[in-house]
Structure 1
Amino acid sequence: MLSELIDKTPSYISYIENGFKSMSLETFVLIANALRVSPTQLLIEQLTCTEIYASKEITLLLSDCSPYETLVLLDVLQALKVSLRERHEQSDE
């Protein structure tokens, strides 16, 4: 269905999906438009400087923690956040 929407062959789409071929920027935009998503949504797994990436990494980091470890880490993060903001405010003065 996607191949029809962007006027490419199904085998070409398969090659792209499996990493055997690279696509042009034009094809990438056609795919994003056909899927009605933003290009960022298609790239999000590859982008490492986004809030979504950070959120997924934090979730992965906590996935093997016990409830106790999770609560301790949450306390540490909250304290770190407060400290970062206080130091940032002090450096602005």
Structure 2
Amino acid sequence: MEITGDGKDELEVVGDGIDIACLVMCLRKKVGHADILTVEVVKNKPEEKKPEPEEPKPVPPPFHCSGYYYAPPPPSPPMLLCEEPSSSCHIIQV
């Protein structure tokens, strides 16, 4: 129900199964004067399609650090190996 009109002197009723004659009789008892201006069939308004909310993207699992590790030792400097031929003669000192 809605009160409409320039002077707020009209009552608009929308719905199914409303007995118009009974409504006018009740209004005449309460208010004094009531007239039926129009009776129409109300067509259903097309429902506005609401955009579907996007599904939340799955959150990747957090990066797991499995502990602290020691750093590897620094590389050793290059070495030069020289092999001298061994002699079969040994000197023994007493």
* TM above 0.5: no
Between Structure 1 and Structure 2, which shows a larger proportion of strand residues?
Answer: 2
Bigger helix fraction: 1
Normalised TM-score (structure 2) = 0.19
TM-score between both structures, scaled by the size of structure 1: 0.20
Structure with larger RCO (C-alpha < 8 A, sep 6+):
1
